[in-house]
Amino acid sequence: MATTRTAPAPAPSPLPVAEREASPCLDISVVIPLRNEEGSLRELHRQLSEVLGASGLTFELLFIDDGSDDGSDTILRDLHRTDDRVTVVTLRRNFGKAQALATGFDLARGRIILTIDADLQDDPHEIPEFLKTLDTGYDLVVGWKRRRRDRVTRVLASRVFNLVNRVCFGLPLHDMNCGFKAIRREVLGELGLYGELHRYIPIYAHARGFRVTEIPVLHHPRKHGRSKYGLERYLRGFFDFLTSLLLTRFAKRPLHFFGGVGFTVGTIGLAICIVLTLQWLRGNTALSERPLLILGVMLIILGVQTISIGLVGEMLIHREETRSTQGQHPIRALLRRAAVS
């Protein structure tokens, strides 16, 4: 079985200042996360060069080698030697696709960032359609693998995942986990991507008020190598789902979430205790004979504790917000006269 990761990825170390581009100088950056994809790299490079070359736009291809131990490294060095549009980034070890993407995003110099898997399951010939759709006024275009060429279990799990997300986040996408996306640079500036939250880029973007849409794309079966993910991705996906729910809905107001839960639980506990106390006052039963009392008391304590977590969260956010001098505001356009008379 293919091992995918060894330990949770640490916080990414900041790139040297010289490596970060403050302003984009190319039209397109293609970010390609890869792990052990030696069989596909040359063909992928050929197809991307062909399609993007024909578009007349300036572009770069960023291959992010996420700890490969096959021949990928040799091939990438060769591509870099023969094509100056190719950048190769080799991570110290396997950190997972999210880290590979985050590194690529930081190094990208394009106005538009395209992400595509390295295994040729996504078809580079779809790229013009992505660009056309962005031009109609969107900030993020997500691929929709309408006919998915993966195992049945994967396809079903993905359907459920997408359905739950549609209901919980209100974003009508069929395939938000698709690795094939076109993203305007501004969007990425606002999303802190860590862990495996790359699955939720569309949700975070949508929550920040960016315009998100999808286009159907071709999906090919894997020709070389094997999928890097097994069943464990579903459990991790579930935790990421909870994180995303919290971060998109309640990140700026934790008390609304924890307060709501705590208040409900505490009120139930209080009601139980009041009923038992009234019965005791009427002289019906001694409290020591009412096991329900334990539940009531526990619920009250749990409620108070949950509300307290929300208060601590509010204090943390307050500190964070007052410390940051240039908070990010979800502004699409700003109209202001230069001088005030």
Q: What is the token pair recorded at 130?
A: 């992505």
Give the residue, chosen from 117, 126, 175, 214, that forms a contact with ligand UDP under the rule CB under 6 A.
117
Q: Strand 86-90 vs strand 110-115: parallel, antiparallel, or unpaired?
A: unpaired
Distance, CA of 260 to CA of 170 (rounded, Å): 21
What is the chain's alpha carbon radius of gyration, rounded to the nearest angstrom? 25
CB of 33 to ligand UDP, least distance (A): 4
Judged by beta carbon, residue 149 or residue 252, the one nearer ligand UDP is 149
User: Within 13 Å of residue 40, how many CA atoms lie on the same side as its CB?
Assistant: 25
Could you tell me if 117 and 224 are in contact, meaning their C-beta atoms sit under 8 angstroms apart? no
* 119 lines the binding site for Mg ion (CB under 5 A): yes
* 165 lines the binding site for Mg ion (CB under 5 A): no
* 28 lines the binding site for ligand UDP (CB under 6 A): no
Distance, CA of 197 to CA of 153 (rounded, Å): 22
Give the residue, chosen from 28, 37, 131, 142, that forms a contact with ligand UDP under the rule CB under 6 A.
37
Judged by beta carbon, residue 159 or residue 220, the one nearer Mg ion is 220
* 121 lines the binding site for Mg ion (CB under 5 A): yes
Within 8 A by CB and 6+ apart from 96, the residues are 4, 5, 9, 66, 196
**x/- map, 221-260, ligand UDP, by CB under 6 A:** ------xxx-------------------------------
Partner whose footprint covers residue 102, from ligand UDP, Mg ion, none (CB < 5 to 8 Å by kind): none
**x/- map, 311-330, ligand UDP, by CB under 6 A:** --------------------
Distance, CA of 106 to CA of 99 (rounded, Å): 11
Please report which helix (H) or strand (E) contains residue 88, including its range. strand 86-90
Q: What is the token pair recorded at 132?
A: 């056309």
Which window, 75-83, 93-101, 208-216, 263-271, contacts ligand UDP (CB under 6 A)? Answer: 93-101
Could you tell me if 141 and 213 are in contact, meaning their C-beta atoms sit under 8 angstroms apart? yes
**x/- map, 55-74, ligand UDP, by CB under 6 A:** -----------x--------
Which window, 9-17, 116-124, 265-273, 290-298, contacts ligand UDP (CB under 6 A)? Answer: 116-124
Closest by CA to 113, choosing from 95, 153, 140, is: 140
CB of 176 to Mg ion, least distance (A): 16
Give the residue, chosen from 94, 213, 244, 306, that forms a contact with ligand UDP under the rule CB under 6 A.
94
Residue ranges of alpha helices (H) inside the chain are 41-55, 72-82, 97-107, 127-135, 152-169, 185-190, 201-207, 232-250, 254-281, 292-323
Partner whose footprint covers residue 94, from ligand UDP, Mg ion, none (CB < 5 to 8 Å by kind): ligand UDP
* 35 lines the binding site for ligand UDP (CB under 6 A): yes
Could you tell me if 109 and 25 are in contact, meaning their C-beta atoms sit under 8 angstroms apart? yes
Q: How many residues bind ligand UDP (CB under 6 A)?
A: 19
Judged by beta carbon, residue 2 or residue 54, the one nearer ligand UDP is 2
- Residues near Mg ion (CB under 5 A): 117, 119, 121
- Residues near ligand UDP (CB under 6 A): 4-5, 33-35, 37, 66, 94, 96-97, 100, 117-119, 121, 179, 227-229
